[in-house]
Amino acid sequence: MTTDTTFATSATDAATGVDTLADRLAEVWVELEERLDRVPVLSRLAAGTVTLHDYQRLLFNLRQQVVDGSPWISRAASNFDIDHFELRTAAIRHAEEEHRDYLMLERDYVAIGGTLAELRAGRKNLGSEALSGYMFHYADQPNPVGLLGAMFIIEGLGAKRAAGWAARFQEVLGLADSQVHFMRYHEQADSEHTGDLEAILTSGIIDDAAADEIVRCAQVVARLYALQLEELDR
Amino acid sequence: MGSMATAYLTGFGAYLPGDPVDNDGIAARLGGDDPVTERIRRRVLDANGIRQRHYALDEHGEPTELNEQLAVKALQAALDDRGIEASDLRMLACATTMGDVLVPGFASMVHGRLGGGPMQLLSAAGVCASSLAALDAAVSKIRLGDHPRVAVVGSELSSRSLRQRRFDGIRAGMDSHFLRWMLSDGAGAVVVEFQPHPSKPSLRVDWVRQVSLAHEHDVCMRAGMSGDAPSVGDTWQDVDIADAEAAGMFVLRQDVSMLDELADAGLAQFEELVDIGLVDVTKLDHVICHYSTNMFRDLAFDGLRRRIPTLDTDRWFSNLETRGNTGSASIFIALEEAWRTGRFAPGETVLLAVPESGRFSFAFAHLTVVAPPDQPSPSPQQQGAAA
């Protein structure tokens, strides 16, 4: 019912030079990339001084949060009412696609010499706690449309950065493809997801209030995701 | 277009049972002290050049250990050398000519005795070259990224089948005497990983290659059948055990008349490695070649020298004379000694060569010495060779 109005608003924004949702998200993304460049493990990766221990700790830390990915998306799906049926559909599909991802990460961890027992006995780092807590809290709200902003960040990292990280880890540490499954897989899978996301963001079902929520959520998730990478093992 | 990991040898171990036995101590263990056998033994020993060896037999010829125990001791030495535990391994590849029992596979028994955690196993059967077949499997799994750490062992306990009781009342010509006075016991092991040793040099495995020419050669080394080809209903498993024993089927034999042909075929395989570029003779620094007797050392050395005029005895390593011919264990026992005694320097290359007479198999491995990650190879030239 709101569709026509929203579409009209977006079109007007574009015509009048007001920042579109896409522009605003792009700004959040640029800020995130600048912050990522300063994350210690990623700057060591870029410099080629990263160690196998760094890769192992990164997988270990990511795993503790990745296992929560599908649950918060599922929870969000259950909080979309019938007026947001398309978002519910997308969330259900997305949750299903993601809910086995952590197994890939676990196999990578074992393939480089770690054990499943120690990995599964791990706890979230400070950043992961904050990120996961925020996501579940947000997903509990009625019609948590802002989570599209969270997806924009998380899927964006998978689609645009993970494969590059994987390639660089392979180059520096001499790893086989089967030791970087998780990061390589996300290039393709998350590109599909970001394609789906773009379709939703430009479909006209997002009104101004929703756009503000999406941008705010993207800002918070970007900061907390970087915090997760900064706070490895803490 | 997938990327593979690199395989490095990072730990080396060997185990030789008991005290070394010199040529005069053989008869006490294996028997055969009648004048005729005595004469043959001297002749064979003169030809093979082995001065001492080890047997898992006491001074009365009674067994002191199992083959699987030899394997585990060599593995333990390799794990200690690397500073890791059996529980760090994800795969174990075992080579032997004959395990202690018919069933189950040798690797199952070695794993059971070694301990550690769940792991993939391979029992590589065959004769001498099964050592490098096991290494090849380990290296392949490391390269695929399937396992971070694998141990490989070659192990032999042939002495118990070389004792007099196997030969009593059996026609034993040169085909059995040649092996009887040549083979002995021992085990050698290596640890293979996808990362180099963190603080010591490692041997990077550049490639492993194994070729069989059984399609154009008859059986050369054998046990379990009469004659040089098995026939239906006439192997040791078909006839009564007593009949099989009386027919000498349990005596290990080698058709010594085929050995020149074997040496020629082995040299042709080496020539092919040079021809297709797997071996660059201008950059080959060390050769460790398994051979059964010094007679073949000279043939092989001369053959290699035709292609590598700079190859001198310093670059050629064998411990046949002091460790004996331990079959599939030999190449790892020789590699361990060469490594431990500091023959190799970072940047240098090593060729392992294992001809197998069984039915004409040849295995080679090309290795490059790499410095620990925090200590790059010394000279630019050597860095280039290691790149």
Q: Where are the domains of chain B?
A: 8-193, 202-216+255-386, 221-254
pLDDT at A91 over 70: yes
* Nearest by Cα to B347 from B313, B364, B371, B365: B371
* Nearest by Cα to B289 from B275, B273, B277, B276: B273
Q: Note whether A174 contacts B5, CB cutoff 8 Å.
A: yes
Q: B159 to each of A194, B26, B153, B312, how far by Cα in Å?
A: 68, 10, 19, 34
> Which residue do the tokens 């603080």 mark?
B199
What residues in B contact A55, CB-CB < 8 Å? none
List, in order, residues 6 or more apart from A36 with CB less than 8 Å away. A42, A161, A226, A229
CATH number of B202-216+255-386: 3.40.47.10
Query: First CA to last CA across chain B, in angstroms?
Result: 20
Continuous segment of H or E residues that includes residue B149: strand B149-156
Helices (H), B122-201: 130-144, 164-167, 174-180
Q: B148 to each of A7, A74, A112, B73, how far by Cα in Å?
A: 54, 36, 5, 22
Quickly name the fold that domain A3-230 has: Heme Oxygenase; Chain A (1.20.910)
Q: In what order do the strands lie in the sheet with B349-356?
A: B120-124, B91-95, B149-156, B186-193, B8-15, B202-212, B361-370, B349-356, B286-289, B316-317
Q: Is the peptide bond before A144 cis (omega within 30 degrees of 0)?
A: no
Q: Note whether A112 contacts B194, CB cutoff 8 Å.
A: yes
What's this model's pTM, rounded to 2 decimal places?
0.89
Q: At what angle do helices A208-230 and A126-139 cross, to 10 degrees?
A: 160
Find residues 315-374 of chain B whose CB sits inside 8 Å of chain A: none
Q: What is the DSSP letter of A145?
A: T
Continuous segment of H or E residues that includes residue B105: none
Predicted local confidence at residue A9, as pLDDT:
42
DSSP letters, B166-177, are: HHTTS---HHHH
Whether residue B127 contacts residue B158, with contact meaning beta carbons closer than 8 Å, is answered with no
Q: Is A178 near chain B, with CB under 8 Å?
A: yes
What residues in B contact A173, CB-CB < 8 Å? 195
Distance from CA of A167 to the nearest CA of B (A): 9
List, in order, residues 6 or more apart from B89 with CB less than 8 Å away. B79, B116, B117, B119, B149, B150, B151
Predicted local confidence at residue A197, as pLDDT:
80
Instruction: For residues B57 and B158, give the distance between their C-alpha atoms in angstroms, rounded to a whole number.
Output: 10
Q: A133 to each of A29, A105, A141, A220, B313, how far by Cα in Å?
A: 22, 21, 13, 12, 69
Q: Is B149 near chain A, with CB under 8 Å?
A: yes
Distance from CA of A174 to the nearest CA of B (A): 5
Q: Note whether A179 contacts B145, CB cutoff 8 Å.
A: yes
Radius of gyration of chain B (CA): 21
Query: Best interface-test mutation with B: which of A171, A175, A185 has the largest number of B CBs within 10 A?
Result: A175
| Domain boundaries of chain A, sorted by first residue | 3-230
Other CB atoms within 10 A of residue A121 CB: 8
Distance from CA of B203 to the nearest CA of A (A): 15
Q: Is B106 near chain A, with CB under 8 Å?
A: no
Distance from CA of A181 to the nearest CA of B (A): 11
The answer to which of A101-110, A188-197, B204-213 has the lowest mean pLDDT is A188-197
Predicted local confidence at residue A98, as pLDDT:
86
Continuous segment of H or E residues that includes residue A181: helix A181-201
Question: How many helices (H) and strands (E) would you count in chain B?
Answer: 13, 14
> Which residue do the tokens 């059986």 mark?
B219
Q: Note whether B146 contacts A174, CB cutoff 8 Å.
A: no
* Nearest by Cα to B347 from B317, B387, B287: B387
> pLDDT tens track of chain B, all 387 residues?
478 999 999 999 999 999 999 999 999 999 988 898 999 999 999 989 999 999 999 999 999 999 999 999 999 999 999 999 999 999 999 999 999 999 999 999 999 999 999 999 999 999 999 999 999 999 999 999 999 999 999 999 999 999 998 888 887 788 899 999 999 999 999 999 999 999 999 999 999 999 999 999 999 999 999 888 899 999 999 999 999 999 999 999 999 999 999 999 999 999 999 999 999 988 999 999 998 888 888 888 888 888 788 777 778 899 999 999 999 999 999 999 999 999 999 999 999 999 999 999 999 999 999 999 876 655 444 333 333
Instruction: For residues B163 and B165, give the distance between their C-alpha atoms in angstroms, rounded to a whole number.
Output: 6
Q: What is the DSSP letter of A161?
A: I
Strand-pair partners of B22: B52
ipTM for the predicted complex: 0.81
Other CB atoms within 10 A of residue B118 CB: 8
Predicted local confidence at residue B13, as pLDDT:
98
Continuous segment of H or E residues that includes residue B35: helix B35-48
Q: Is A175 near chain B, with CB under 8 Å?
A: yes
> Which residue do the tokens 């996300």 mark?
A186
Predicted local confidence at residue A204, as pLDDT:
75
Quickly name the fold that domain B8-193 has: Peroxisomal Thiolase; Chain A, domain 1 (3.40.47)
What's the angle, vertex CA B117, arms to CA B114 and CA B123, rounded to 5? 55
Q: What is the DSSP letter of B325?
A: B
